[in-house]
A and B are shown apart, each in its own frame.
Chain A
Amino acid sequence: MTRILGRNGFALAILAVLLAANLMMNPARFHPAAWGTLLGMAAPLIGAALASTPVILAGRGGIDISVGPVMGLVGAVVIKLLFLGAGISSPFLLWPAALAIGAAIGAFNGFMAVVVRVQPIVATLGTYLILGGVTLTILPAPVGPAPDWLKAMAGGWSFLPLGLIALSWCALTRLPFHGQLMAVGSDDRAAYTAGVNVSLVRFLAYVLTGLLAGAAGMMLTALIGSADPKVGANYTLIAIAAVALGGVSLAGGRGGLLGAAIGAIDIFLLQSLLTTLNVSTYVLQVAYGAILVTAVVLIALQDRHAERSPA
């Protein structure tokens, strides 16, 4: 348990500091009554970070850089084609549609990475480019609005999808799949020799990533209240940064969704603090980079220390 806390330790410490700073600098914005809104604003980034995690956990270079474009495509299809085009407005149709799009793309990525055996970063780069192009073709310019129920999810109701993801993940960690995923991520040869179906586990990790990316796409659409072809792709790299910040090892097998979520919240709090301080976006960028590098360096130093003194 201390290990898990330890890996998240820096992300948690940064979280505490940033939260305190935000509370001091901007008490109105961070008033408890506004926490729902804040959560809604942070939700797309949290979702993107959660989505990026499973494939990274699965190891051997596993990464999905198409998470951002999936989010963009989900918005385009759900709003432009299904809601405005076909007049479908029921959440019980639109949510499954979004998740199905995500899962299908995840399955495609998994097929390319696991069965065709293209290096994951290249496979998902291909998907990244294809999805970006398809999204722009469906949706050359932003359109809106989103259905009212979806816009309402930009506030406190954003707790619903995030909470469901958290619950599902908790359930998943109790299934053999989670153990297999971590085993495959930390040493696939050993896992294979122990009888784990490594290819299947990796493939499912991609599907899971796609599924979560679909959900993140809905949260993004809820937040901006419309569909915008350009915003999705921006989430890819920042989400991976959030994952690393949250102590998930890019070598696989170490970390979890909780860390990724904390990492994403850190980045969100940093954003909002610097916005409050009214600094330019340039300073924001330097701060992102600096926090990311500092955090991974500190985590690495901690790991190294832990290895030296196994007690």
Chain B
Amino acid sequence: MTLRRDAMSIRILGAFGVALALHAIGTALIPGYSAPFAIRAMLVIAALLAVASVGQTLVVILGGIDLSIPFVIGFANVVAAQLYGQGWHFALVCVVVFGLAGLIGALNGALSRGLNIHPLIVTLGVGMIVQGLVLIWTKGFPSGSAPKAVSAFVSIGGHFGPLPVPALIPALVVLTLLILLVLERTPYGRQLYALGANPGAAPYALIRPLRIWTVTFAISALFAALAGVLLLGFTGSAYGDVGQPYLFQTIAAVVVGGAALVGGRGSFVGTLAGVLVLTEINTLLIGLNFAPASVQAAFGAIILLLVSLYGRERHFRTTV
């Protein structure tokens, strides 16, 4: 009986199907929806969201949630621009940005698990502190820019060898494979699922919950920082609130991709499907000339519809 696994695959396939259907609707309704440039733009936007969602996926498999992602994105975005603008070597900038991000994430995980505080509160509080400190440091007016290489890496008009997409897209494919390997074929990956599935059994199976939480939240922050740096290349200038749309979008992508917020279930492929669905919805609604307010409302309604169709939880009675 591989029912659970099959149900999971069906959810993921379903999400990809929804993305395809949305794309077909867009192509039918909006001229130029499937034009090469439009598809490239969608791919890049989706890829940026995918990078930001890596950490949320891992944290949700663990049974947690990370609200600090948008703040860490903004932190990395602003700090990288500022330091690079001051003439630092970009490698050194990355060491500082990713080092600090890793520490922020580790603090999130260690506090949440070590003291048994809901990660929602810890990551929210830590995120607010981080954002405030960045604002104080830049006095609210960040400056600086990204190196050309980063901009080229994410540019919608970019090329990767003969491929008509920027290097970000093939890099994301490699990253996806790597994440799959780590989740499926390393002790860390298996322990992550196990701990999410039943925290009570973990200590008897030589799983160290504190270590896994610390590492996983650190990874989450590292990918948020990566998204922040890539966004710097994408938009060209630093903006502290650049991560804000990602707060709920990462959660929505993970859930639309079939992960359960109670932990133990989820996959990065599912998240990718969720990312595509969200990107298609956004592009479609904007393409249909909805006002931003209506786009937002329709976005919410569609997420609810999708999740009620295939993101339903088991009845708690079945867990008695």
Asked whether any CB of A lies within 8 Å of a CB of B in the complex, the reply is yes
Chain A CB within 8 A of B293 CB: yes
A297 with B115: in contact, given A132-B296, A134-B297, A286-B133 (CB under 8 Å)? yes
A121 with B121: in contact, given A60-B316, A297-B115 (CB under 8 Å)? no
| Residue pair A286, B296 in contact (C-beta under 8 Å) | no
| Residue pair A282, B125 in contact (C-beta under 8 Å) | no
A131 to B299, CA, bound (A): 11
A289 with B136: in contact, given A61-B262, A122-B307 (CB under 8 Å)? no
| Residue pair B136, A286 in contact (C-beta under 8 Å) | yes
- Name A's interface SS: helix
A237 to B67, CA, bound (A): 10
Query: Which residues of chain B are near A132, meaning CB under 8 Å?
Result: 293, 296-297, 300
Chain B CB within 8 A of A203 CB: no
Query: Which residues of chain A are near B295, meaning CB under 8 Å?
Result: 133
A290 to B125, CA, bound (A): 7
A153 to B261, CA, bound (A): 41
Chain B CB within 8 A of A119 CB: yes
A301 to B248, CA, bound (A): 30
| Residue pair B115, A292 in contact (C-beta under 8 Å) | no
| Residue pair A286, B132 in contact (C-beta under 8 Å) | yes
Q: Mark B280-320, 1 if CB is under 8 A from A, else 0.
A: 00000000000111111111110110011001111111011
Query: Which residues of chain A are near B307, meaning CB under 8 Å?
Result: 118-119, 122-123, 126
In chain B, what residue has the closest Cβ to A137? B293
Chain B CB within 8 A of A231 CB: no
Closest chain A CB from B262 CB (angstroms): 7
Chain B CB within 8 A of A84 CB: no
| Residue pair B297, A129 in contact (C-beta under 8 Å) | yes
B230-281 residues with Cβ-Cβ distance < 8 A to A are 248, 251-252, 255, 260-262
One of A119, A240, A249, A301 near B255 (C-beta < 8 A): A119
Q: Mark B60-104, 1 if CB is under 8 A from A, else 0.
A: 000001010000000000000000000000000000000000000
| Residue pair B136, A282 in contact (C-beta under 8 Å) | yes
Closest chain A CB from B278 CB (angstroms): 11
A193 to B317, CA, bound (A): 10
Closest chain B CB from A173 CB (angstroms): 24
A128 to B122, CA, bound (A): 22
Query: Which residues of chain A are near B300, meaning CB under 8 Å?
Result: 125-133
A113 to B262, CA, bound (A): 14
A99-152 residues with Cβ-Cβ distance < 8 A to B are 112, 116-119, 121-123, 125-137, 140
| Residue pair A296, B122 in contact (C-beta under 8 Å) | yes
| Residue pair A288, B128 in contact (C-beta under 8 Å) | yes
Closest chain B CB from A61 CB (angstroms): 6
Closest chain A CB from B270 CB (angstroms): 14
A238 to B72, CA, bound (A): 19
Q: Mark B113-148, 1 if CB is under 8 A from A, else 0.
A: 001111011101111111111011000100000000
Chain A CB within 8 A of B111 CB: yes
Chain B CB within 8 A of A188 CB: yes
Closest chain A CB from B11 CB (angstroms): 14
For the A-B complex with A280-B135, A293-B125 known, give 13 more contacts whose Cβ atoms are closer than 8 Å: A61-B262, A112-B304, A117-B312, A119-B262, A121-B261, A122-B255, A126-B304, A129-B299, A130-B300, A136-B291, A280-B140, A292-B125, A296-B115
Identify 6 residue pairs between A and B in the complex whose beta-carbon atoms are under 8 Å apart, listed by A's number: A126-B304, A133-B298, A136-B292, A192-B320, A283-B136, A289-B127
